[in-house]
A = this chain, B = another copy of it.
Amino acid sequence: MAKEGAGRARPGRSPVPAGRRSRPRQAEVAQLAGVSQATVSLVLSGRDEATARPISEETRRKVLQAAQTLGYVPDPAARRLAAARNNLLGVFSFTATFPTDVRHSYYPFLVGVEQEAAVQGYDLVLFTGSSAGGADAAGAGALNRVRLADGCLFLGRHAPSPELARLVRDGFPVVHLGRREDTEGVAWVGADYISASRDVVTALAEAGHRRIVLVREDDDAPASTDREHGFLDGLRAAGLPAGPAAVFRTADPHTEVTAARVRAWHEDGVTAFVAEETDTGAAWRALRAAVDAAGLRCPGEVSLAVLGSPPPDLVNEPVPMGFDIPRARLGAEAVRLLSALIAGEPTESTLVACTFRAGVSSGPPATA
Q: Which residues of chain A have a CB within 8 Å of any CB of chain B?
A: 1, 3-9, 19-23, 47, 50-51, 68, 71-78, 80-88, 96-100, 107, 110-111, 113-115, 117-119, 121-133, 140-141, 144-145, 147-148, 166-167, 170-172, 316, 328, 342-344
B141 adjacent to A131 (CB under 8 Å): no
Name A124's closest neighbour in chain B (CB-CB). B126
B96 adjacent to A115 (CB under 8 Å): yes
B114 adjacent to A121 (CB under 8 Å): no
**What would 14 more interface pairs be, CB under 8 Å, given A20-B171, A73-B144?**
A6-B342, A7-B85, A73-B147, A75-B81, A75-B86, A87-B131, A98-B110, A98-B111, A98-B114, A115-B132, A123-B125, A123-B126, A123-B131, A124-B125
Which residues of B are found within 8 Å of A123, using beta-carbon distances? 125-129, 131, 145, 148
Which residues of B are found within 8 Å of A51, using beta-carbon distances? 1
Report how far A342 CA is from B23 CA in the complex, Å.
12
A76 adjacent to B1 (CB under 8 Å): no
Name A111's closest neighbour in chain B (CB-CB). B98
Report the copy number of this chain in the oligomer: 2
Report how far A171 CA is from B113 CA in the complex, Å.
32
Known: A83-B7, A118-B128, A121-B130. A171 touches B19 (CB 8 A): yes
A133 adjacent to B148 (CB under 8 Å): no
Which residues of B are found within 8 Å of A88, using beta-carbon distances? 76, 125
Name A150's closest neighbour in chain B (CB-CB). B6
